Amino acid sequence: MNNAEIIELTHRHQVDVYGCLPLAFARGHGAYLYDADGNRYLDFFCGLAVTSLGHGNPRVVRAIKEQAEKLTHVSNIFHTEPTARLVERLANHFGDGKVFLGNSGAEANEAAIKLARRWGSNAGGGRFEILTTLGSFHGRTLATVSATGQERYHQGFQPMMPGFRFVPFDDLPAFDRARRDETVAVMVEPIQGEGGVVVPRADYLKRLRDWCDRNKLLLILDEIQTGMGRTGKFFAFEHVGIKPDIVTLAKALAGGLPIGAMIAKPEIASSFTPGSHGSTFGGNPVACAAAVAVIDALEQDGVLENASSVGGYILERLKEFARSCDRIIEVRGLGMIIGVVLKHDPRPIVEDCLKNRLIVNGTAGNVLRLLPPLNLTREEADAGLAIIENALKNVPVPK
């Protein structure tokens, strides 16, 4: 099937919740995607930070093939080797953690919310409320969208689930003012992704960790977008030398297969007991085998170092360009999560880049977001930057 046939068939039968662009991709290799008509695109979006090792990574492909030939599914009331190996690796990276596996970031955050409430019920004096931040994004389920501090995601789904309140991001005194007797936890992203690649001050997470400790509150870090090397470290919280009580992962965890993980300190995780939570496909052996392969790549193939160095190069190139481009307000980010804040809607830039075979993304109303593969080469970075800079120079500013 060609592009047009795939697009027509999809729109005839699929619920229209994605606002799909008129492209149908057929295959990918490394940092490139190929549409059904054979056109090649440089991918600076990675399926929204999912394919962080690029497309068709040999480690991941091999792990999927080998495991699919052995066993694709068994009930998680039994054990499998890929699941055992994955939870060991994740627990070790966290440092003495206990892991719950699901299928997505929303499921990981649901698990974190439920665990915090369960802990609050069992050991936290009956507390249940979770403070989150304005501009945050935590998922699309009713609980996680209720935890999301963006009104546009709430429209048409009210009433929201009770038990969440919002405070400004990067504002510790606001947490102190908002805390009540029923507050059990705070839930934040180390860098707000959907909120516009908003990077807090360097001491924010450390001060928040200290404040939670003083007030006997759980600190939940949503690393769905920032985890698995996106910032140049396995977890973004490693940059500031802290450890949360609970952290969530998904997106890049299995290199493109659906998976999510919640990792918690053992004394917190013990509030979950048999039957208190679960997921039919959680711990799927094929997804777990792929995730182990991703972790192998992060640890053994220089991926984290590359994300830091090439990501830093992209960031500095864009900051330098911004000095002579008056439509740019700010360039911000860390590693391979980068936001170019514009004075206007980013869609004309996104569309021009797409015409020139580069995939980028717009978010938060005026932010051009870049989420390239962590193993992107310097040459590929230069190719993408040339297209972005050309668009910012030549595309008319929308009125």
Distance CA 59, CA 75 (A): 26
203 counts as catalytic: no
The verdict on whether omega for the bond into residue 200 sits within 30 degrees of 0, i.e. cis, is no
Distances (CA, A) of 395 to 12, 343, 351: 33, 13, 10
Closest CA to 138 of 188, 179, 91: 188
Closest CA to 91 of 247, 313, 318, 290: 247
Determine which helix (DSSP H) or strand (DSSP E) holds 41, and give its type and residue range.
strand 40-43
Of 222, 233, 245, 352, catalytic: 222
User: How many other C-beta atoms lie within 10 A of the C-beta of residue 383?
Assistant: 16
181 counts as catalytic: no
Of 98, 233, 251, 265, catalytic: 251
Distance CA 348, CA 290 (A): 36
Distance CA 276, CA 284 (A): 19
Closest CA to 240 of 193, 294, 202: 202
Distance CA 266, CA 144 (A): 23
137 counts as catalytic: yes
Per the CB < 8 A criterion, the answer to whether 114 and 277 are in contact is yes
Distance CA 70, CA 328 (A): 52
Distance CA 136, CA 139 (A): 10
Reduced to 3 states (helix: H, G, I; strand: E, B; else coil), residue 162 is coil
Residue type, 293: A
C-alpha neighbours within 13 Å on the C-beta side of residue 378: 6
Distance CA 387, CA 394 (A): 11
Per the CB < 8 A criterion, the answer to whether 286 and 257 are in contact is yes
Distance CA 168, CA 120 (A): 24
Distance CA 329, CA 278 (A): 45
User: How many other C-beta atoms lie within 10 A of the C-beta of residue 373?
Assistant: 27
Reduced to 3 states (helix: H, G, I; strand: E, B; else coil), residue 372 is coil
* DSSP letter assigned to residue 238: G
Of 94, 137, 234, 237, catalytic: 137
| Residues involved in catalysis | 137, 222, 251
